[in-house]
Structure 1
Amino acid sequence: MKRAKANRPRPHPVLWSQLTWPEIGRLRAGGMDAVLLPCGATEQHGPHLGTGMDTVLAADVCAAVSAATSVPALPALPYGCSLGHSHRWPGTLSLQPQTLIALVTDIGGWLWRAGFKKLFIINSHVTNAAPLRCALENLRYHHDGFMVALVNTATASPRTQKTFFADARDWHANQAETALMLARAPEITRPDLIKKSDDPDRTVGAVFAHPVNHTSTNGVTGHPSRASLAQGERLFRWLVADVAGIVRKGLREKSPLVPTHDANGPNG
């Protein structure tokens, strides 16, 4: 007769904001030298999704990845570079690219001084990618040996990318994002408006990167009407598994070569 398996408690995320300074010090003393930084945005997401969608996703993915890997997760950045959404629809609050670059560079500098040598930037807003890459460049230049990775959730793996791009190449507030919020934050969805919010991708074949007020009638690009709770639950599982896989690989990674030159930055 098989013995029933004991219900094991689920691991909890390690949340930086809930830790005291001695506890953070013990993380470093115990060998943990990596941190997750969730990056979101506050911007319009059509008539049917709340403006915090990107931040909710980044924070939830990082919390789940932290629980799976024990890497501490910093508080999510709720503002990003959303200039392309224009002033057409109220709700968007955007940083300038240089502001986001400076913000993440400053955060990284403090992490470095505290002894954390690996930073995983987990980004859930598409147009944060360029400023975040610039911040990565700053950090690895000014702090020789700082290993910084930029992981965009939508393209974390072939299966997540295929799902996000299924109904629009220039997607926004689409099937994938709507499904994720039905699963993770139903309080910021408006179910009665989901079926009415579809708007096609008008950027196919375009040479220029047009602002959203030139490509969408309601702030949406894609087909949120196709979203379901089950789709969102499955996609979230994939995101957590695939991002956690990247983080585990990064925890094992070392610099390919031992530097043979002096530190290249003033604070190296």
Structure 2
Amino acid sequence: MLWSDITWTELPAILASANYAAMLPVGATEQHGPHLGCGVDTVIVDQLCRAVAEATGVPMLPPLPYGCSIGHSQRWPGTIAVNPVLLIEFVKQIGDWAYHSGVRRLFIVNGHVTNAAPLRCALEMLRASHDDLMVAVINTASLSERVRAFHSADAADWHANDAETSLMLAIAPQLVRPDQLPQADDPDRTCGCVFAHPVNRTSRNGVTGQPSLATREKGEVWFDWLVADLAELIKTGCDELPPLEFSYTSRA
């Protein structure tokens, strides 16, 4: 169910069987503290969408490995960010071409928190351009109440925390440096703040939370929750119709 593996002759039937739906995973490349590789957000959303594609039959477009990570600053090496305007236009053009390939339900699955605003802007532009295209932005860390709860259990403004580290131990242990875990914890300093401060002013080491609490066993359970809850959303979306059928451009 990977778009990059499908031939153009096979794609129409695959899209028809999925009610013309496709997923676009969007990740990031950014520092994740001293204990995690810089590809965490992309790895999680990639593995998640692969599992959901297999479970639902909805094809998955190639994941985007770069996102709006400018809030991580240049204090630590490793972050490769794009600005919000570029991400908006890039995703808009991907959506345009997916539409011309037959997609009419586009699920943008976001694995990095601060991609959310640019992706919402891309959604607005896509649905204004294509009257019969439905677009959803699904943020992986908040796709259900139980997923939201485990992500923020050790820090409201979490990053490279127990949740992400446990998930990596379960699905990509090669990205984890276990010897760095005991001293990687750094508290959430954003509580009570009025302003949205960049990470260089809220963290000493690029971490927000307690990765020392992470275990592979928790990560396996939590990843299963992510797959089950996203698959349920995708299945529901594949059957959804607009509440009303009025045209975007016509008053008739």
Q: TM-score, normalised by structure 1?
A: 0.91
The answer to whether the aligner puts 1:159 opposite 2:146 as a matched pair is yes
- Superposed CA RMSD in Å reads 1.2
What is the CA distance between 1:182 and its match in structure 2? 0.2
Structure 1 residues 30 and 174, CA, compared in 2 at 3 Å: closer, same or farther? Answer: closer
One-letter amino acid of the counterpart of residue 206, structure 2? G
Structure 1 residues 218 and 210, CA, compared in 2 at 3 Å: closer, same or farther? Answer: same
Distance between the aligned counterparts of 2:202 and 2:155, measured in 1? 12
One-letter amino acid of the counterpart of residue 139, structure 2? N
Distance between the aligned counterparts of 1:68 and 1:104, measured in 2? 25
2:220 counterpart SS class: helix
Q: Deviations over 1:190-226 (max 9, x none)?
A: 0110111000000111000000000000000000000
- Kept in 1: contact 2:18–2:57 (CA 8 A): no
Distance between the aligned counterparts of 1:244 and 1:29, measured in 2? 18
Distance between the aligned counterparts of 2:118 and 2:226, measured in 1? 22
Q: Deviations over 1:69-124 (max 9, x none)?
A: 00000111000000000000000000010110001100100111111100001111
1:105 corresponds to which residue? 92
What is the CA distance between 1:32 and its match in structure 2? 3.6
Gaps of 5+ in 1: 1-13
- Kept in 2: contact 1:139–1:146 (CA 8 A): yes
1:147 corresponds to which residue? 134
Structure 1 residues 260 and 133, CA, compared in 2 at 3 Å: closer, same or farther? Answer: closer
The answer to whether the aligner puts 1:128 opposite 2:128 as a matched pair is no
One-letter amino acid of the counterpart of residue 103, structure 1? F
2:245 corresponds to which residue? 258
2:74 counterpart SS class: coil
The answer to whether the aligner puts 1:25 opposite 2:12 as a matched pair is yes
2:26 corresponds to which residue? 39
Q: Deviations over 1:48-80 (max 9, x none)?
A: 000000000000010000011000001110000
Gaps of 5+ in 2: none
What is the CA distance between 1:262 and its match in structure 2? 3.3
The one of 50, 57, 63 aligned to 2:44: 57
One-letter amino acid of the counterpart of residue 88, structure 1? R
One-letter amino acid of the counterpart of residue 186, structure 1? P
Task: Flag as ranges the 4+ runs of structure 1 deviating above 2 A.
Answer: 28-32, 260-264
User: Identity percentage over the alignment?
Assistant: 57
1:5 corresponds to which residue? none
2:213 corresponds to which residue? 226
What is the CA distance between 1:26 and its match in structure 2? 2.5
Structure 1 residues 191 and 142, CA, compared in 2 at 3 Å: closer, same or farther? Answer: same
- Kept in 1: contact 2:18–2:58 (CA 8 A): no
One-letter amino acid of the counterpart of residue 51, structure 1? C
Q: TM-score, normalised by structure 2?
A: 0.97
What is the CA distance between 1:245 and its match in structure 2? 0.5
1:22 counterpart SS class: coil
Distance between the aligned counterparts of 1:262 and 1:82, measured in 2? 35
- Kept in 2: contact 1:144–1:263 (CA 8 A): no
Q: Deviations over 1:159-207 (max 9, x none)?
A: 0000000000010000000000000100111011011100000011100
1:206 corresponds to which residue? 193
Structure 1 residues 145 and 263, CA, compared in 2 at 3 Å: closer, same or farther? Answer: farther
